[in-house]
A = this chain, B = another copy of it.
Amino acid sequence: MTSALQVLIVGGTHGNEFSGIQLLQRWQQQPLRFDNLMVQTLFANPKANQANRRFLDDDLNREFTPERLCDFNLVNYEALRAKSINQQFGPKGASQTDLVIDLHNTTANMGPTLILLQDCPWERQLAAYVKAQMPEAVILMELEKSYQQWGYLCTIGKRGVMVEVGPQPQSVLRHDILDQMDQMTQLILEFASLHCRQELPQLSHEVEVFTSVENITLPLNDEGKPLAMVHRRVEGSDFTELAPGEPIFQYFDGSVGYFEGERTLYPTFVNEAAYYNTFAAFSLADKLKLEVPAV
Protein backbone atom coordinates (compact mmCIF):
# COMPACT_ATOMS: atom_id res chain seq x y z
CA MET A 1 0.00 0.00 0.00
CA THR A 2 1.26 3.47 -0.89
CA SER A 3 1.76 5.61 2.21
CA ALA A 4 -0.25 8.81 2.40
CA LEU A 5 1.19 12.12 1.21
CA GLN A 6 1.36 14.88 3.81
CA VAL A 7 -0.23 17.97 2.29
CA LEU A 8 -0.48 21.43 3.83
CA ILE A 9 -2.84 24.08 2.50
CA VAL A 10 -1.96 27.59 3.63
CA GLY A 11 -4.20 30.66 3.63
CA GLY A 12 -3.69 34.14 5.04
CA THR A 13 0.06 34.27 4.47
CA HIS A 14 -0.86 37.84 3.58
CA GLY A 15 -3.47 39.14 6.00
CA ASN A 16 -5.48 41.19 3.50
CA GLU A 17 -5.85 38.44 0.88
CA PHE A 18 -9.19 37.06 1.94
CA SER A 19 -9.98 34.17 -0.43
CA GLY A 20 -7.59 31.64 1.06
CA ILE A 21 -8.66 32.48 4.60
CA GLN A 22 -12.30 31.94 3.67
CA LEU A 23 -11.54 28.63 1.97
CA LEU A 24 -9.68 27.37 5.05
CA GLN A 25 -12.83 28.02 7.08
CA ARG A 26 -14.90 26.11 4.54
CA TRP A 27 -12.52 23.17 4.55
CA GLN A 28 -12.36 23.06 8.32
CA GLN A 29 -16.12 22.57 8.33
CA GLN A 30 -16.17 20.29 5.28
CA PRO A 31 -12.79 18.54 5.30
CA LEU A 32 -11.14 17.82 1.97
CA ARG A 33 -10.86 14.09 1.38
CA PHE A 34 -8.64 12.67 -1.34
CA ASP A 35 -7.36 9.12 -1.46
CA ASN A 36 -3.82 8.84 -0.17
CA LEU A 37 -3.62 12.45 0.98
CA MET A 38 -3.42 13.64 4.59
CA VAL A 39 -4.52 17.27 4.25
CA GLN A 40 -3.81 19.83 6.96
CA THR A 41 -4.52 23.55 6.87
CA LEU A 42 -2.63 26.55 8.24
CA PHE A 43 -3.83 30.13 8.74
CA ALA A 44 -0.36 31.59 8.41
CA ASN A 45 -0.71 35.18 9.61
CA PRO A 46 -3.92 35.71 11.61
CA LYS A 47 -2.44 38.74 13.38
CA ALA A 48 -1.92 40.54 10.07
CA ASN A 49 -5.46 39.57 9.11
CA GLN A 50 -6.80 41.05 12.34
CA ALA A 51 -4.96 44.25 11.49
CA ASN A 52 -6.32 44.04 7.91
CA ARG A 53 -2.81 44.34 6.55
CA ARG A 54 -0.51 42.27 4.37
CA PHE A 55 1.88 41.92 7.30
CA LEU A 56 2.76 43.57 10.58
CA ASP A 57 6.53 44.03 10.27
CA ASP A 58 7.76 42.27 7.15
CA ASP A 59 6.42 40.19 4.26
CA LEU A 60 5.95 36.68 5.64
CA ASN A 61 6.18 35.24 2.14
CA ARG A 62 9.80 36.40 1.82
CA GLU A 63 10.99 35.05 5.18
CA PHE A 64 11.66 31.45 4.17
CA THR A 65 15.13 31.71 2.62
CA PRO A 66 17.66 29.40 4.22
CA GLU A 67 19.59 32.46 5.42
CA ARG A 68 16.63 34.15 7.10
CA LEU A 69 15.36 30.97 8.70
CA CYS A 70 18.77 30.52 10.32
CA ASP A 71 19.28 34.14 11.35
CA PHE A 72 18.19 34.37 14.98
CA ASN A 73 18.92 38.08 15.06
CA LEU A 74 15.80 38.59 12.93
CA VAL A 75 13.20 39.17 15.59
CA ASN A 76 10.36 40.99 13.84
CA TYR A 77 6.95 39.35 14.05
CA GLU A 78 6.95 37.62 10.67
CA ALA A 79 10.56 36.43 11.02
CA LEU A 80 9.57 34.66 14.23
CA ARG A 81 6.35 33.32 12.75
CA ALA A 82 8.34 31.92 9.82
CA LYS A 83 10.68 30.03 12.12
CA SER A 84 7.73 28.62 14.01
CA ILE A 85 5.93 27.49 10.83
CA ASN A 86 9.16 25.98 9.52
CA GLN A 87 9.59 24.04 12.75
CA GLN A 88 5.98 22.83 12.70
CA PHE A 89 5.66 21.81 9.04
CA GLY A 90 9.20 21.76 7.61
CA PRO A 91 12.02 21.97 8.19
CA LYS A 92 12.95 23.36 4.81
CA GLY A 93 15.24 20.98 2.96
CA ALA A 94 14.28 17.97 5.08
CA SER A 95 10.56 18.41 5.26
CA GLN A 96 7.95 16.18 6.81
CA THR A 97 5.45 17.78 4.39
CA ASP A 98 5.30 16.42 0.85
CA LEU A 99 3.33 19.26 -0.69
CA VAL A 100 2.52 22.82 0.40
CA ILE A 101 -0.17 24.76 -1.46
CA ASP A 102 -0.18 28.44 -0.52
CA LEU A 103 -3.24 30.50 -1.49
CA HIS A 104 -2.85 34.12 -2.60
CA ASN A 105 -4.78 36.97 -4.18
CA THR A 106 -3.49 39.69 -6.43
CA THR A 107 -4.98 43.02 -7.45
CA ALA A 108 -3.64 42.30 -10.96
CA ASN A 109 -5.84 40.83 -13.67
CA MET A 110 -4.06 37.47 -13.63
CA GLY A 111 -7.05 35.18 -13.44
CA PRO A 112 -6.45 31.82 -11.76
CA THR A 113 -2.67 31.40 -11.86
CA LEU A 114 -0.71 28.40 -10.67
CA ILE A 115 2.83 29.42 -9.70
CA LEU A 116 5.45 26.67 -9.91
CA LEU A 117 9.01 27.02 -8.62
CA GLN A 118 10.57 23.98 -10.24
CA ASP A 119 10.45 22.56 -13.74
CA CYS A 120 10.46 18.81 -13.13
CA PRO A 121 8.26 16.03 -14.53
CA TRP A 122 5.86 16.29 -11.57
CA GLU A 123 5.35 20.03 -12.20
CA ARG A 124 4.86 19.61 -15.95
CA GLN A 125 2.31 16.88 -15.43
CA LEU A 126 0.53 18.99 -12.80
CA ALA A 127 0.43 21.92 -15.22
CA ALA A 128 -1.02 19.74 -17.97
CA TYR A 129 -3.59 18.23 -15.61
CA VAL A 130 -4.78 21.62 -14.31
CA LYS A 131 -4.94 23.18 -17.79
CA ALA A 132 -6.93 20.22 -19.11
CA GLN A 133 -9.55 20.52 -16.36
CA MET A 134 -9.53 24.32 -16.12
CA PRO A 135 -8.63 25.86 -19.49
CA GLU A 136 -8.70 29.42 -18.11
CA ALA A 137 -5.89 28.54 -15.69
CA VAL A 138 -2.49 30.11 -16.30
CA ILE A 139 0.77 28.39 -15.39
CA LEU A 140 3.59 30.68 -14.28
CA MET A 141 7.02 29.22 -13.56
CA GLU A 142 9.43 31.25 -11.45
CA LEU A 143 12.80 29.68 -12.09
CA GLU A 144 15.21 32.57 -11.56
CA LYS A 145 16.36 30.97 -8.31
CA SER A 146 16.64 27.39 -7.22
CA TYR A 147 13.63 26.09 -5.32
CA GLN A 148 15.49 26.21 -2.00
CA GLN A 149 16.69 29.77 -2.46
CA TRP A 150 13.24 31.36 -2.65
CA GLY A 151 11.84 32.96 0.47
CA TYR A 152 8.31 31.74 -0.21
CA LEU A 153 6.47 29.91 2.54
CA CYS A 154 5.54 27.01 0.27
CA THR A 155 9.22 26.10 -0.17
CA ILE A 156 9.25 24.51 3.28
CA GLY A 157 7.54 21.52 1.64
CA LYS A 158 9.32 18.92 -0.43
CA ARG A 159 7.22 20.43 -3.15
CA GLY A 160 5.54 23.81 -2.92
CA VAL A 161 3.19 25.68 -5.23
CA MET A 162 1.19 28.89 -5.02
CA VAL A 163 -2.33 29.55 -6.22
CA GLU A 164 -2.55 33.24 -7.14
CA VAL A 165 -5.98 34.53 -8.18
CA GLY A 166 -7.06 38.02 -9.19
CA PRO A 167 -8.11 40.67 -9.79
CA GLN A 168 -9.33 41.18 -6.26
CA PRO A 169 -8.72 44.34 -4.24
CA GLN A 170 -7.11 43.84 -0.87
CA SER A 171 -9.65 43.34 1.95
CA VAL A 172 -12.41 42.16 -0.39
CA LEU A 173 -13.95 38.73 -0.91
CA ARG A 174 -15.15 38.15 -4.47
CA HIS A 175 -17.42 35.23 -5.27
CA ASP A 176 -15.91 34.53 -8.69
CA ILE A 177 -12.33 34.67 -7.38
CA LEU A 178 -13.18 32.38 -4.45
CA ASP A 179 -14.65 29.78 -6.78
CA GLN A 180 -11.60 29.86 -9.04
CA MET A 181 -9.24 29.41 -6.10
CA ASP A 182 -11.38 26.56 -4.75
CA GLN A 183 -11.41 24.81 -8.11
CA MET A 184 -7.68 25.18 -8.75
CA THR A 185 -6.73 24.00 -5.28
CA GLN A 186 -8.92 20.93 -5.55
CA LEU A 187 -7.43 20.12 -8.95
CA ILE A 188 -3.95 20.21 -7.46
CA LEU A 189 -5.07 17.86 -4.69
CA GLU A 190 -6.78 15.59 -7.21
CA PHE A 191 -3.59 15.49 -9.27
CA ALA A 192 -1.45 14.73 -6.20
CA SER A 193 -3.80 11.93 -5.23
CA LEU A 194 -3.89 10.42 -8.72
CA HIS A 195 -0.13 10.80 -9.14
CA CYS A 196 0.55 9.13 -5.81
CA ARG A 197 -1.64 6.18 -6.78
CA GLN A 198 -0.16 6.08 -10.30
CA GLU A 199 -3.63 6.57 -11.69
CA LEU A 200 -3.11 9.73 -13.70
CA PRO A 201 -5.09 9.86 -16.94
CA GLN A 202 -3.43 10.42 -20.28
CA LEU A 203 -2.12 14.01 -20.43
CA SER A 204 -1.51 16.34 -23.35
CA HIS A 205 1.93 16.07 -24.97
CA GLU A 206 2.78 19.66 -24.26
CA VAL A 207 1.58 22.46 -22.03
CA GLU A 208 1.73 26.23 -22.34
CA VAL A 209 3.54 27.94 -19.49
CA PHE A 210 4.81 31.41 -18.74
CA THR A 211 8.30 31.76 -17.25
CA SER A 212 9.18 34.93 -15.40
CA VAL A 213 11.98 36.96 -16.98
CA GLU A 214 12.38 40.28 -15.17
CA ASN A 215 10.72 42.88 -12.98
CA ILE A 216 10.03 46.30 -14.43
CA THR A 217 10.25 49.21 -12.00
CA LEU A 218 8.66 52.61 -12.42
CA PRO A 219 11.11 55.31 -13.50
CA LEU A 220 12.13 57.35 -10.44
CA ASN A 221 13.51 60.84 -9.96
CA ASP A 222 16.67 61.67 -8.00
CA GLU A 223 14.71 61.60 -4.77
CA GLY A 224 13.38 58.11 -5.49
CA LYS A 225 9.85 59.27 -6.32
CA PRO A 226 8.00 57.83 -9.36
CA LEU A 227 8.05 59.92 -12.51
CA ALA A 228 5.37 57.84 -14.23
CA MET A 229 2.56 55.34 -13.80
CA VAL A 230 1.81 52.21 -15.79
CA HIS A 231 0.38 53.19 -19.18
CA ARG A 232 -3.23 52.25 -19.84
CA ARG A 233 -2.00 50.03 -22.67
CA VAL A 234 -0.59 47.62 -20.08
CA GLU A 235 -3.24 47.95 -17.35
CA GLY A 236 -5.22 44.77 -16.93
CA SER A 237 -3.22 43.12 -19.72
CA ASP A 238 -1.54 40.40 -17.70
CA PHE A 239 -0.42 37.42 -19.82
CA THR A 240 -1.15 39.20 -23.12
CA GLU A 241 1.46 40.14 -25.72
CA LEU A 242 3.61 43.22 -25.21
CA ALA A 243 5.72 44.03 -28.26
CA PRO A 244 8.86 46.18 -28.40
CA GLY A 245 7.92 49.81 -28.99
CA GLU A 246 4.54 49.64 -27.27
CA PRO A 247 3.77 52.21 -24.53
CA ILE A 248 4.36 51.06 -20.96
CA PHE A 249 4.73 54.25 -18.90
CA GLN A 250 2.67 57.40 -18.76
CA TYR A 251 4.98 60.06 -17.32
CA PHE A 252 3.39 62.69 -15.14
CA ASP A 253 4.90 65.36 -17.38
CA GLY A 254 2.72 64.05 -20.22
CA SER A 255 5.35 62.07 -22.12
CA VAL A 256 5.20 58.34 -22.77
CA GLY A 257 7.77 55.60 -22.15
CA TYR A 258 8.00 52.65 -24.51
CA PHE A 259 8.93 49.01 -24.09
CA GLU A 260 12.54 48.67 -25.12
CA GLY A 261 12.76 44.88 -25.07
CA GLU A 262 13.99 43.00 -28.09
CA ARG A 263 11.09 40.59 -28.38
CA THR A 264 7.47 40.16 -27.41
CA LEU A 265 6.97 39.31 -23.75
CA TYR A 266 3.97 39.03 -21.42
CA PRO A 267 3.30 41.33 -18.45
CA THR A 268 2.34 39.81 -15.10
CA PHE A 269 1.48 41.36 -11.73
CA VAL A 270 0.54 44.62 -13.46
CA ASN A 271 -0.09 47.29 -10.81
CA GLU A 272 -0.07 44.84 -7.91
CA ALA A 273 -1.03 47.07 -4.97
CA ALA A 274 1.18 45.22 -2.49
CA TYR A 275 4.28 46.24 -4.41
CA TYR A 276 3.57 49.99 -4.31
CA ASN A 277 6.45 50.56 -1.88
CA THR A 278 8.97 48.87 -4.17
CA PHE A 279 7.78 50.93 -7.18
CA ALA A 280 7.26 47.73 -9.14
CA ALA A 281 5.30 48.45 -12.32
CA PHE A 282 4.88 44.88 -13.53
CA SER A 283 6.90 41.79 -14.28
CA LEU A 284 7.58 40.24 -17.66
CA ALA A 285 7.31 36.61 -18.61
CA ASP A 286 8.05 34.53 -21.64
CA LYS A 287 5.54 32.08 -23.11
CA LEU A 288 6.71 28.56 -23.88
CA LYS A 289 5.35 25.18 -24.81
CA LEU A 290 6.88 22.52 -22.61
CA GLU A 291 6.87 18.84 -23.32
CA VAL A 292 4.88 16.83 -20.79
CA PRO A 293 6.48 13.55 -19.72
CA ALA A 294 4.26 10.59 -20.46
CA VAL A 295 2.40 9.15 -17.49
When the two chains form the complex, which single residue of B178, B179, B231 contacts A175, counting CB atoms closer than 8 Å?
Answer: B231
When the two chains form the complex, which single residue of B25, B252, B276 contacts A172, counting CB atoms closer than 8 Å?
Answer: B276
A interface residues, Cβ below 8 angstroms from B: 22, 25-26, 52, 107, 167, 169-176, 178-179, 229-232, 235, 250, 252, 271, 273-274, 276-277
**Cβ of A230 and Cβ of B171 under 8 Å apart?**
no
Q: How far is the CA of A208 from the CA of B250 in the complex (A)?
A: 34
| Minimum CB distance partner of A252 in chain B | B26
Q: How far is the CA of A271 from the CA of B250 in the complex (A)?
A: 29
Closest CB in chain B relative to A113 CB, distance in Å: 17
Chain B residues whose C-beta falls within 8 Å of the C-beta of A173 in the assembled complex: 229-230, 271
Closest CB in chain B relative to A18 CB, distance in Å: 8
Q: How far is the CA of A25 from the CA of B221 in the complex (A)?
A: 14
Beyond A22-B252, A232-B175, A250-B175, is A277–B169 a contact (Cβ under 8 Å)? no
Q: Nearest 9 pairs between A and B by C-beta?
A: A175-B232, A107-B169, A169-B169, A171-B273, A169-B273, A173-B229, A171-B276, A172-B273, A176-B232
Closest CB in chain B relative to A247 CB, distance in Å: 10
**Cβ of A52 and Cβ of B252 under 8 Å apart?**
no
In the assembled complex, 21 residue pairs joining A and B whose CB atoms fall closer than 8 Å, in A order, are A22-B229, A107-B169, A167-B169, A169-B169, A169-B271, A170-B171, A170-B273, A171-B273, A171-B276, A172-B273, A172-B276, A173-B229, A173-B230, A173-B271, A174-B229, A174-B232, A175-B230, A175-B235, A175-B250, A176-B232, A176-B235
Q: How far is the CA of A174 from the CA of B178 in the complex (A)?
A: 24
Closest CB in chain B relative to A177 CB, distance in Å: 9
Beyond A172-B107, A229-B173, A235-B176, is A52–B271 a contact (Cβ under 8 Å)? no
Q: How far is the CA of A230 from the CA of B271 in the complex (A)?
A: 25
**Cβ of A229 and Cβ of B273 under 8 Å apart?**
no
Chain B residues whose C-beta falls within 8 Å of the C-beta of A22 in the assembled complex: 229, 252
When the two chains form the complex, which single residue of B25, B235, B276 contacts A52, counting CB atoms closer than 8 Å?
Answer: B276
Beyond A52-B276, A276-B52, A277-B52, is A174–B271 a contact (Cβ under 8 Å)? yes
**Cβ of B172 and Cβ of A271 under 8 Å apart?**
yes
Chain B residues whose C-beta falls within 8 Å of the C-beta of A274 in the assembled complex: 171
**Cβ of B25 and Cβ of A252 under 8 Å apart?**
yes
Beyond A52-B277, A107-B169, A276-B52, is A235–B25 a contact (Cβ under 8 Å)? no
